[in-house]
């Protein structure tokens, strides 16, 4: 069953014209040879111009994809803002990749889309085949002379490093809001597919001769045949020194809408150069004269008249058929307008023609993916708000506050006013440091004071002997760290590391040092009974440790973390890895400086 659009249109056109041409072909056979060489050339040149104009839609479709990405509001917003932290960089990278994937799904001619930017040089792990540093583009031999003169343009057939395929590419410069170069977008089309589009033109169906596609400046972008099969092309094209570009010889470079006979090895060829299309691109074609006249010989003027009459008479029929075939396109345009308004529930119906059926399926998949992405973004925002809530909960420490207030109550009943005063003072310091005016980072000395107040209260509260030591160099105490990250681990050590129903000595030590990788490492150790052999972090149910890890990841980056392990003898060691910060990185409003 025939479902392809191209096949249906060709069959319909051929059948309609065959009805008018079949009877007149033989009778008019011997009259057409009177056509002059110049008339034949003009006819072929006209077909070549039509093919060049048809090629405009294909070229413009690809260039529009690059232009759309370069001026897209999301892209402009991303490159217009200062990059704050790795988490923001990851979100930006995902937004850019989603935009690229969406554009690729809408442009079936596009093989891949690559973005080149140095925005993420501080986070090289974010680079992948879709987003790459500008340096990987600058190392190409054609880049410098190409990009110095223009903001966009085409690169002829070359081998892609990431794809290991031959591609023809369109490159567009991305400018930020100040007009500076922020990056480049590179649209890749498989070289074979690009040439297939040339082969699909009416002119190639008629003559089956080689094409050469020239852009502005006479540079060769693509060819439909191996040049060795047509040696005459070697006399027309030359390779630029130290470049992948090949250009038309200067004597032909300024010619357009031109035809002439050229001679090669005692054989004549008809050279055709189309007029520039909308993009100022031209098609060049070389036709052996003998083959041209062999096909035309014997046809007469009467065939031309009958053919023209047949074509004129078939126009209403072909027009009616074409109108019927293009109805789904109108429906799809209306659907896209609805999506632009924010309606993602628009669905396209299946169609008998295969190409329209594929477009409808891809359109429906696109609207579904957009709805899913919006839903996931809402969930991600909810998760982030929940993490902030858990941080506030951890700062206030409701469970510890309630226990301490209860102890103050019983001390008051015993009339131990001095002890009560001391405990209330320690608790007040803890709450003051924990709130810290809304700041997310405090000095290490304040964090140590917060932990000491907690230990002093525990000494009043517990019957066990508690020995608490701080071994932190004075030079490190002015560094900034996320607040309340030591006390939760001390509390866990006391709560889970000892049997508080027995008389035991509790030894806790807090130390700090700078590692070789310029990382501040805080270490909390105890002499408790240690972690079970089968223990892992996924078993932690409380909010304390999980909250500390999440805040470190959110504020400092994925490369900083908390490591928990058993000591060789007894006890547990907690290593907290942090960046070295000599000033508060966040304002009171939570904005990174």
**3-class SS string, 434-461:** HHHHHCCEEEHHHHHHHHHHHHHHHHHH
Torsion, Cα 314 317 322 323, to 10 degrees, reads 140
Per-range mean pLDDT, top range of 147-161, 427-441, 572-586? 572-586
Give the integer Cα–Cα distance in Å for 589 and 566: 39
151 secondary structure, DSSP code: S
SS3 527: coil
Continuous H helices in 72-173: 73-80, 86-106, 135-138, 143-147
Question: What would the two tokens of residue 470 be?
Answer: 């701080």
Give the integer Cα–Cα distance in Å for 525 and 511: 9
Residue 134 contacts residue 116 (beta carbons within 8 Å)? yes
Tokens 């897209």, located at residue: 72
Classify the C-alpha dihedral 115-196-105-153 as positive or negative.
positive
Average pLDDT over residues 52-57: 79
Residue 531 contacts residue 545 (beta carbons within 8 Å)? no
What are the φ/ψ torsions at residue 400 (nearest 5 degrees)? -70, -40
Whether the pLDDT of residue 392 is over 50: the answer is no
Looking at 160-316, which runs of residues are DSSP E strands? 166-175, 181-190, 211-214, 220-223, 237-239, 246-248, 258-264, 267-273, 282-288
| Residue of 536, 518, 526 lying closest to 577 (CA atoms) | 518
pLDDT tens per residue, range 322-361: 667 767 777 777 788 887 777 777 888 777 777 778 888 8
Whether the pLDDT of residue 38 is over 90: the answer is no
> What is the per-residue DSSP string for 171-193?
EEEEE-TTS-EEEEEEEEEEHHH
Please provide the average confidence, as pLDDT, over all residues in the chain. 78
Give the integer Cα–Cα distance in Å for 24 and 213: 37
Tokens 């075939």, located at residue: 325
Element (DSSP H or E) covering residue 524: strand 519-526
Tokens 């007149």, located at residue: 24
Element (DSSP H or E) covering residue 344: none
Whether the pLDDT of residue 233 is over 80: the answer is no
Counting beta carbons within 10 angstroms of the beta carbon of residue 142, is it exposed (0 to 12), middle (13 to 18) or buried (19 or more)?
middle
Give the integer Cα–Cα distance in Å for 182 and 117: 6
Whether the pLDDT of residue 33 is over 50: the answer is no
Banded model confidence at residue 204, pLDDT cuts 50, 70, 90: low
What are the φ/ψ torsions at residue 263 (nearest 5 degrees)? -120, 135
Element (DSSP H or E) covering residue 62: helix 37-71
Whether the pLDDT of residue 510 is over 90: the answer is yes
Average pLDDT over residues 179-203: 76
| Residue of 180, 154, 159, 183 lying closest to 70 (CA atoms) | 183
pLDDT tens per residue, range 206-215: 546 677 888 8
Whether the pLDDT of residue 203 is over 60: the answer is no
Neighbours of 417 (CB within 10 A): 10
Average pLDDT over residues 534-549: 73
Whether the pLDDT of residue 5 is over 70: the answer is no
Whether the pLDDT of residue 477 is over 90: the answer is yes
Give the integer Cα–Cα distance in Å for 95 and 89: 10
Give the per-residue pLDDT at 443.
92
Average pLDDT over residues 525-538: 84
User: For 380-384, 444-448, 467-471, 573-577, which range has the lowest pLDDT when averaged over its residues?
Assistant: 380-384
Beta-carbon contacts of 342 under 8 Å, excluding residues fewer than 6 positions away, are none
Give the integer Cα–Cα distance in Å for 94 and 101: 10
Residue 445 contacts residue 470 (beta carbons within 8 Å)? no
Give the per-residue pLDDT at 297.
55
Give the per-residue pLDDT at 478.
93
Average pLDDT over residues 416-438: 69
Give the per-residue pLDDT at 34.
45
SS3 578: strand
Beta-carbon contacts of 163 under 8 Å, excluding residues fewer than 6 positions away, are 111, 112, 129, 188
SS3 158: strand
Banded model confidence at residue 236, pLDDT cuts 50, 70, 90: confident
Q: How far from each other are the two terminal CA atoms of the chain, in whole angstroms?
A: 66
pTM of the prediction?
0.43
Using a pLDDT cut of 70, give the percent of the chain over it.
74
pLDDT tens per residue, range 272-323: 888 888 778 888 888 877 766 665 555 555 666 776 677 667 767 766 776 6
Give the per-residue pLDDT at 512.
95
Question: What would the two tokens of residue 10 be?
Answer: 């060709």
Whether the pLDDT of residue 395 is over 70: the answer is no
276 secondary structure, DSSP code: P
| Residue of 138, 266, 150 lying closest to 219 (CA atoms) | 150
Give the per-residue pLDDT at 43.
82
| Residue of 354, 358, 376 lying closest to 366 (CA atoms) | 358
Average pLDDT over residues 368-383: 77
Beta partners for 283?
213
Whether the pLDDT of residue 254 is over 60: the answer is yes
Residue 561 contacts residue 577 (beta carbons within 8 Å)? yes
Counting beta carbons within 10 angstroms of the beta carbon of residue 220, is it exposed (0 to 12), middle (13 to 18) or buried (19 or more)?
buried
CA distances from 573 to 451, 546, 579 (A): 16, 17, 20
Average pLDDT over residues 43-52: 82
Whether the pLDDT of residue 270 is over 90: the answer is no
Give the integer Cα–Cα distance in Å for 288 and 270: 6
pLDDT tens per residue, range 113-168: 999 998 888 888 888 888 889 888 888 877 776 666 778 888 888 888 777 888 88
350 secondary structure, DSSP code: P
Residue 339 contacts residue 367 (beta carbons within 8 Å)? yes
Counting beta carbons within 10 angstroms of the beta carbon of residue 291, is it exposed (0 to 12), middle (13 to 18) or buried (19 or more)?
middle
Using a pLDDT cut of 90, give the percent of the chain over it.
12
Per-range mean pLDDT, top range of 57-71, 158-172, 440-454, 575-589? 440-454
Whether the pLDDT of residue 437 is over 70: the answer is no
Give the per-residue pLDDT at 396.
43
Give the per-residue pLDDT at 386.
58
Counting beta carbons within 10 angstroms of the beta carbon of residue 244, is it exposed (0 to 12), middle (13 to 18) or buried (19 or more)?
middle
- If one compares 341 and 205, the residue with the highest pLDDT of the two is 341
């Amino acid at each position: 069953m025939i479902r392809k659009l191209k096949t249906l249109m060709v069959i319909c056109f051929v059948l309609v014209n065959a009805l008018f041409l079949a009877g007149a072909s033989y009778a008019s056979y011997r009259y057409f040879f009177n056509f002059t060489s110049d008339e034949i050339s003009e006819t072929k040149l006209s077909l070549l111009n039509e093919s060049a104009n048809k090629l405009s839609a294909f070229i413009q479709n690809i260039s529009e994809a690059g232009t759309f990405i370069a001026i897209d509001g999301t892209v402009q917003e991303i490159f217009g803002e200062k990059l704050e932290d790795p988490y923001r960089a990851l979100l930006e990278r995902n937004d850019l990749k989603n935009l690229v994937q969406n554009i690729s799904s809408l442009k079936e001619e596009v093989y891949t889309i690559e973005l080149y930017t140095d925005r993420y040089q501080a986070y090289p792990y974010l680079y992948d085949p879709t987003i790459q540093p500008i340096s990987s583009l600058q190392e190409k031999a054609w880049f410098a002379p190409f990009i110095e003169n223009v903001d966009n343009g085409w690169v002829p057939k070359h081998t892609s490093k990431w794809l290991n395929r031959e591609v023809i590419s369109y490159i567009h410069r991305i400018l930020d809001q100040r007009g500076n170069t922020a990056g480049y977008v590179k649209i890749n089309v498989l070289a074979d597919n690009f040439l297939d589009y040339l082969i699909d033109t009416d002119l190639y169906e008629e003559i089956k001769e080689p094409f050469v596609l020239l852009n502005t400046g006479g540079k060769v972008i693509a060819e439909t045949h191996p040049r060795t099969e047509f040696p005459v092309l070697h006399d027309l094209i030359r390779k630029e020194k130290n470049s992948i570009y090949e250009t038309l010889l200067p004597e032909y470079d300024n010619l357009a809408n031109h035809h002439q006979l050229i001679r090669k090895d005692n054989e004549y060829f008809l050279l055709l150069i189309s007029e520039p299309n909308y993009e100022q691109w031209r098609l060049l074609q070389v036709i052996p004269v003998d083959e041209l006249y062999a096909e035309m010989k014997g046809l007469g003027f009467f065939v031309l008249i009958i053919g023209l009459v047949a074509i004129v008479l078939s126009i209403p029929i072909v027009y009616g058929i074409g109108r019927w075939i293009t109805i789904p396109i109108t429906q799809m345009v209306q659907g896209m307008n609805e999506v632009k308004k924010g309606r993602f529930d628009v669905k396209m119906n299946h169609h008998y023609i295969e190409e329209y059926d594929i477009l409808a399926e891809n359109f429906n998949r696109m609207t579904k993916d957009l709805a899913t992405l919006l839903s996931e973004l809402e969930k991600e925002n909810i998760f982030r708000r929940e993490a902030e809530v858990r941080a506030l909960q951890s700062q206030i420490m409701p469970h510890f506050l309630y226990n301490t207030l209860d102890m103050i109550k019983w001390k008051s009943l015993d009339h131990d006013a001095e002890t009560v005063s001391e405990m209330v003072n320690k608790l007040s310091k803890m709450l003051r440091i924990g709130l810290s005016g809304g700041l997310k980072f405090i000095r290490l000395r304040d964090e140590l004071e917060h932990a000491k107040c907690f230990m002093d209260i525990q000494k009043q509260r517990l019957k066990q002997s508690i020995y608490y030591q701080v071994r932190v160099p004075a030079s490190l105490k002015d560094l900034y760290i996320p607040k309340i990250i030591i006390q939760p681990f001390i509390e866990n050590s006391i709560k889970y590391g000892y049997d508080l129903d027995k008389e035991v000595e509790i030894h806790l030590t807090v130390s700090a040092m700078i590692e070789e990788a310029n990382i501040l490492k805080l270490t909390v150790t105890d002499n408790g009974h240690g972690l079970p052999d089968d223990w892992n972090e996924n078993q932690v149910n409380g909010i304390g440790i999980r909250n500390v890890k999440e805040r470190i990841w959110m504020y400092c980056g994925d490369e900083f973390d908390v490591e928990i392990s058993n000591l060789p003898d007894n006890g547990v060691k907690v290593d907290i890895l942090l960046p070295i910060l000599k000033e508060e990185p966040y304002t009171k409003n939570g904005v990174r400086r």
